[in-house]
Every structure is written in structure tokens, then in C-alpha cells.
Structure 1
Amino acid sequence: MATRRLGVFGLPHAVVAVLVSTFFLGFGGGVVFPILPNLGAVVGIAPVVVGVILSANRIVRLLANAPVGAVVDRVGTRTPFVAGVILETVATAGYLLALRSSMPAVWFLGARVLWGLGSAFVLATAYTIAADVCDPESRGRTMSIVRGGTSLGFPAGMSLGGIVGEVYGASAAFAVATGLSVLACLVTYVAIPETHAVDGTGGVALRNIDLSSPALITGGANFALLFTYNGVVFATLVSFLDTVEAGGVAVGAQGTSGVLIGASVLTGSVFSVAGGKASDIMGRRVPVILTCFVCLSAGMVLLAIGTTFPILLASVLLLGAGQGGVGGPLVSLLGDLTASAEMGSATGTYNALGDLGATVGLLVSLPLGNAIGFPSLYRLTALVPISAAVVVIGCLYTTYDEIPSVTSG
């Protein structure tokens, strides 16, 4: 097992390796979103099929998260992480093949399926590595840095897909993302250590879902978070911008979407670190979680009235701050309440419920937005984070004599 040697910014070396690997890998996750919704009509993919393709990785990850979490507890972190990075690299290369295929929908769908399986391995092991090598007193900061850092490649990929795709075409954007994913493979193989004490007993199956209170409470909140942000916002923003007057769209709907989402996720990464650190200082995760859910809801309300670029930018920055600020403390709360040897399975369940939320959002939001109008969809979605905040506080109060603190968890 790896020791807790400190590297850049006082972070354990293992955490730094995870951050570098997932940054380069994240380009492949973000590049497809600003391209495929508009590309679909060009290559003959119906909007409903586009929604299925965009959500396919979440559906696969939804099924894979619990077994993958059990695998981590059985065999350790290094091998699953390496396998996940390789799978996501192959998936990114699949986008290039899709453009040259006579059946692009099939190839895009296959690539997203592979991406989903790979990301299940990467995320479960990334959070487990962080939990293994950090101290309880700094868990909020460390877990939040991992949560935000693993997302940093995604906004870069969104910008790459939106701007490079607009100027040079989809092929160029997918080719650059593939090259960066190969670089991620090299970094992963050289730098990712083994950190986890393994339990070689037991089987691995879909039934490995963790039904403990910490996993279900934090996972349910993650459902609401990803439904709102990764589901509704990501699936509909390009189409919504097509309905906005020219003054609100600087470089076309596709390019503006890439810039806005990139700025939002980058903001989320910053607030992820800030939220985790704040929860460490306060000794409580819940106040930060509740505040950020309110911020997320406010961002959805503002997006519903977004008819100019400043309003659109303000809305996505609020959304980014809310989703980033809540994510780190949520997964830190899970770590506070879960034994180290069970963290792989707990993380798998947490990710599974989040992916369920994102999958539902990706599947229903585009058809629903077309039916009732995107502003109405966004107003309805604003109720989801508020509802999640109420459920989290209610479940914690009814499950525990007092809401657990960082030191007592």
C-alpha cells in the first residue's frame, strides 16, 4: 500500500497522480456534448437517439458502479484505475470512427457504453484512493480537490468541442481529445500506486449495492445534483441557446454552449475545494451542503430568464458554484460515516445513484423541454435541489441522534 507522502500543494502523491491522469482523460468526456446535439441532424441521428447516446455512459455506469465498488474492495485500486483509463481512451477514439462510419449512431453509442464502464472504474477508485491516503481532519479538502480536480478536464473538453469543433470541425476536436487520453494512459501506468487494503472474500455482482444509511442519504442527494446539472443543463443548453436572440449567443449556439459549460464546470472545481475546506473548518458538512443546494436552485431560476449573455453567464456560474460546492462535502460526509474497508462499495452506490439522476435527466429533459419550453423546464428543475436539501436534513436528523461532525463521524 502507498504511504501518505506529500507532493504538490501538500497533497498526497497518489492524489496528485489521480488529478493529472483524470484531467487529460476528461477531455474525452466533455468534447462530445457541444458537438453531438447539432451534429446529429447532419449525420442523420434523431434527437431522441442523441439523448440515448449522451445518456448511455450514465446507464452503463449506473449498472456497473456497485460491482466496481466491490471489485475495488476485493482487489485494490491500481488495477481498476488503469483498466478504467484504458477503456475511456478507446471510447474517445471511437468518436473518430463514428464520423467515418455508415452507422454513426451505433458507433457513438458503443463509444459511450465503453466510456461509462471505464468511468465507473476511474471514479470509484479515485474517491477510494483519496479516502485511503487522507486524514479525517483534512478529508473535506482532499476529497473536494479530487471531486473538483477530476472534473477539470471536462470543461476543457466542452470548450474544445465547442470552439475547435466550430472552427476546424468535429474530427479535429475528437482527434485532440484522443491524443490527450493516450497521455492519460501513460501517466496512469507510471504514477498511480496501490493504496487499498483488500478483502479477497465475497463475489461481485449487481447486488453489491450498499444499503447503509450514509450511502443512501448522500447518494440520494447526489441523484438530485446530477439530475439537475449533468442531466438537464448539459442535455438542453445547446438547444435552449438556439431559441435565444442573437445578442445572447456570442459565437453560435454550439460555441457559446461550450464556453458557458466550461466556465460553469471550472467554477465548480474552484468551489469544490472551497466547500470542502469550509466544511473542515466548520467541523460540519451539512451547512455547506444546504447552502450550495440553494445556490444550485437559484442558478436554474436565473437560467430560465436568460435572454442575454451576462444573464446566461451569471446563471451557469451560480450552477457551477452550487454543484461544485455541494459535491465535495457530500462525498466527504460519506467518508466520515463509512469504515475505510467498505469505502469502495459505499462509493459505488453513491456514484450509482448520481448516475441514475443524470441518466433520467439526460433522457427526459430534451423531449420535455421541446414540449413545454425550456424556461418552464428550468423552473420545474429548480425545485429538485431544494427538495434534496429537505430530504438530506430530514434523513440525518431521523437516522442519528445528532448530525455527525467531522471529528465524531
Structure 2
Amino acid sequence: MSGPVSRSIDRLSGAGDDRYVVIGAVILSTFFIGFGGGVIFPILPNLGVILGISPFMVGVILSANRFSRLVANAPAGILVDRIGTRTPFVVGMFVQGFATLGYVVAIPAPVPEAWFLTARFLWGVGSALVFATAYTIASDVSDGGSRGTSMGLIRGGVLFGAPTGMVVGGVVSEIGGEIAAFLLATVFAFVASGLAYATIPETHVEGDARESVKPWDVDTSVPAVTVGLINFAVLFVYFGVLFSTLVLFLGENDIGLLGFDAQGTSGLFMAITVVTAGLFMFLGGYVSDLQQSRVPVLLCFLGILFVGFVLLASADSAGTLAVACLFIGAGQGGTSGPMMALLGDLTDDGRMGRAVGTNNVLGDVGGGVGPIVSLPVTELVGFGPVYLACAALPLVAGVVLLGGVYRQTGQFLPGTELPNL
């Protein structure tokens, strides 16, 4: 391996402590931006009640950030491979901060739908830059023996902040109102932005190696598309369906916790799934580093995700719903670290930004289509059939995984130290 990427890694390879500092800086920054994002999530699905917006429009607002990422993900990945990681990461953080401020303006605005849509579109652009850089940084400073752990830690950074934000957002919105919750989210988003500016180094290119960006130069390799399709399935059922329908499911079934109504309770149950996911992101990545292949770990957690949605389809109390959320969180989180590490194992370092962009595009299609499909369909057929249909998608993703890795490597269980093919 040669070129600007290898030279950047060489600067870190002699100092293991520097790698931990870099990973820690990314985790801390994404933790705070995740907190800001978590605060708003119990509120957004309930905009129909708060502002009298139709379920379809609520779904569009929820999905807007993912659709803007569809446009921004691939250019963000290309940008990272051309100019490096630090500038796109910091800019992305600040864009998300200003987008969160837009929620505050939206509530009293004459046309709140337009403000929410604009804010969500901006958030998507900012998060495209952050995600493309965060995973590329993890790949840059890791090797096959530590990549799963690094990916799991960074992917869990947002999710460890989000559950706290979800709980706080649900509680603050009930006590102080939606504007107070959005203001709190804005403060934390800008704290994350300042932290990123002060701490994130360049890991990907030398200053004299920067090249012009070609928007059409995306990664359509077998590893990128395979991992992206798995990401599609997981994010469709998790963010696209579960998070978008949970508050409505709680209201219809009259399930509550600690005296909160559906909006406050949804934040608590979302936090259960996200805390569990965050823990299993690290565990899944760490275990995959210890194994000869990441594929068995991925298949195991896809199976756990399947079980979680089967349990969710029959949940009728706070207890049964909590168990389902634990399985779903474990399944979603456990796939994340090994999935991104597998992408890093099979992708040349100089194209990792592009590969992450492709992965994020397909994931955002899943997360974006989910609310638009699930909200109207649950009104027609109910929650049970929708959740059972979601249970089938992780099984399909397992088949895609096996087919993709076999086509790329000629093996169903490729090792973690294979050369980039």
C-alpha cells in the first residue's frame, strides 16, 4: 500500500496511544451530536398532534434528512478521499448545529412544515459529512485485528449520546414544551461542533496530496454494495419503522412508563433499544476482531434482530415491549461494528471514503423509505403485520451477506486479514 493514505497511517502506526486519542476525540464529538439528535426524536413523530400535520407529511419530515443524505453521501465520501477527514468532519458538525437551531424557529413559524423540512435537509447534509469521515478515520488508524472494535466504538458514539437525549427530550418537552427541548438540542449540537474543531486531526491525506473531486467517482464494488444492502435492511426496520411508529403503537395500546404519556414513554423505549445497540456495537466489533471471520458474528446478530421484531409483533405490555426492544437493539447494534469492519477489510484504504458513502446511501434509502411506507401502512393493516414483515428483512440480509462475500473472496467465511480485493 502506498500514497497519501498510507503515509497518514504511518504517522500513527508508531504510537498506539495516538490512535486511542483520535478514536476518543471522534467518539466524544459524535456523542454530543447524538445527544442533540436524540432530544428531538420523541417529538418529531408526534408533529401531527402538535401542529396538525398529516401522517404523510410527518413521514416526509422524518425522512427528509435521509433523502438529502442520498444526494450528499457519495460526494462526501469522495471529498474525504480527496481532501482528507478533518475539514469535512468539522464542517458537518457545524451544519448539524445550525439545522437543529431551525427546529426552534419552526414551532412558532407561520409555515412550520417548510422550516422542519429545511432543517431536516440540512441535518442530512451535515451528517453525511460526519459519517463519511468518522468511519474513514476509524479505518485509517486501525488494522484487521482492531478494526471491528474501532468501528463499533465510533458507530456507538452517536448512539450512546442519543438515548440520554431521547429520555431528556421526552421529559423536557412534557415539562417545558417543545421549544425548550429543541433549544437544549441546539446547545449540545454546537458543543459537539466546537469539540470537533478543537480535537479532530487529519488522518487521511497529506496536505500536498489533495485532488479535485469528481462527483461520479463512486464505489460500486461488491463489498460496498453488499454491506450497503445489509445496512439498508437494518436501518429500514430500525429507524425507518420502529422509531417512526413506536409513539403511535404506545398510544394505540395504552402503554406507558413512569406516568408519562406516549410521547414521553417512546423516548424511554427508544433509549432501551439505543443503549442496548451501543453496548452491542462495541461487543460485536470486539468479538469479530477475535474471530477468524466476521461473517458468523454478523449472521448471529441478524438472527437476533429477526427475533426482536417477531416479539414486537405480539407485544401487548410494557414488559413484553421492553424485551422486544432489547432484542432489536442488540441485533441492530451487533451488526454495526462487524459490518463496517468487513467493509474496511475488503476495501482499499484509498477508496474507503467512497465505500462508506455508498454504504450510507443505501442505508439512508432504507431509513428514508421506512417512515413513508410504515406510517400509512400501519393505519391500513395495523402494527402486527408490519412488524412481522420487518422480521423477514434481516434474514434476506443474511443471504445477501453470504452471496456478496463469496463472490468477492471465493469463501463464505473470509478472514479478517485478507488483502483488499
Q: What TM-score, normalized to structure 1?
A: 0.96
Residue pairs, 1:259-338, within 5 angstroms: 259-338=268-347
The amino acid across from 1:82 in the alignment is V
Q: Which residue of 2 aligns with 1:408?
A: 418
SS in 2 for 1:152: helix
2:92–2:130 Cα contact (<8 Å) kept = yes
2:97–2:190 Cα contact (<8 Å) kept = yes
1:17 aligns with 2:21: no
1:214 aligns with 2:223: yes
Write the deviation string for residues 204-262 of structure 1: whole angstroms up to 9, x where unpaired: 32x33311011011111111010110111011111111111346785211111100111
2:295–2:414 Cα contact (<8 Å) kept = no
Question: Distance in 2 between the 1:149 and 1:143 partners?
Answer: 10
2:223–2:408 Cα contact (<8 Å) kept = no
1:245–1:307 Cα contact (<8 Å) kept = no
The amino acid across from 1:152 in the alignment is F
2:224–2:359 Cα contact (<8 Å) kept = yes
The amino acid across from 1:404 in the alignment is P
Q: Which residue of 1 aligns with 2:143?
A: 135
| Superposition RMSD in Å | 1.6
SS in 1 for 2:75: helix
SS in 1 for 2:12: coil
In terms of mean alpha carbon deviation, does 29-38 or 138-147 score higher?
29-38
**Off by >4 Å, runs of 4+ in structure 1:** 4-7, 246-250
Gaps of 5+ in 1: none
Question: Distance in 2 between the 1:144 and 1:347 partners?
Answer: 15
Change (3 A) 1:230 1:338: same
Question: Distance in 2 between the 1:160 and 1:361 partners?
Answer: 25
In the TM superposition, what is the alpha-carbon distance from 1:172 to its structure 2 partner?
A: 1.3
In the TM superposition, what is the alpha-carbon distance from 1:318 to its structure 2 partner?
A: 0.5
In the TM superposition, what is the alpha-carbon distance from 1:157 to its structure 2 partner?
A: 2.0
Q: Which residue of 1 aligns with 2:201?
A: 193
1:84 aligns with 2:92: yes
Indicate which of 334, 348, 360 corresponds to 1:351. Answer: 360
Q: What TM-score, normalized to structure 2?
A: 0.93
Residue pairs, 1:218-229, within 5 angstroms: 218-229=227-238
1:72–1:125 Cα contact (<8 Å) kept = yes
1:12–1:134 Cα contact (<8 Å) kept = no
Q: Which residue of 2 aligns with 1:115?
A: 123
Question: Distance in 2 between the 1:293 and 1:311 partners?
Answer: 20
Write the deviation string for residues 347-386 of structure 1: whole angstroms up to 9, x where unpaired: 1101111111111112111111111101111011111111
Question: Distance in 1 between the 2:113 and 2:49 partners?
Answer: 11
Q: Percent identity?
A: 48
In terms of mean alpha carbon deviation, does 247-256 or 311-320 score higher?
247-256
Write the deviation string for residues 92-151 of structure 1: whole angstroms up to 9, x where unpaired: 111101112111111111110000000000000000011111122111111111111232
Q: Which residue of 1 aligns with 2:4?
A: none
Indicate which of 137, 161, 164 corresponds to 2:169. Answer: 161
Write the deviation string for residues 169-189 of structure 1: whole angstroms up to 9, x where unpaired: 111111111111111121111
The amino acid across from 1:115 in the alignment is W
SS in 2 for 1:3: helix
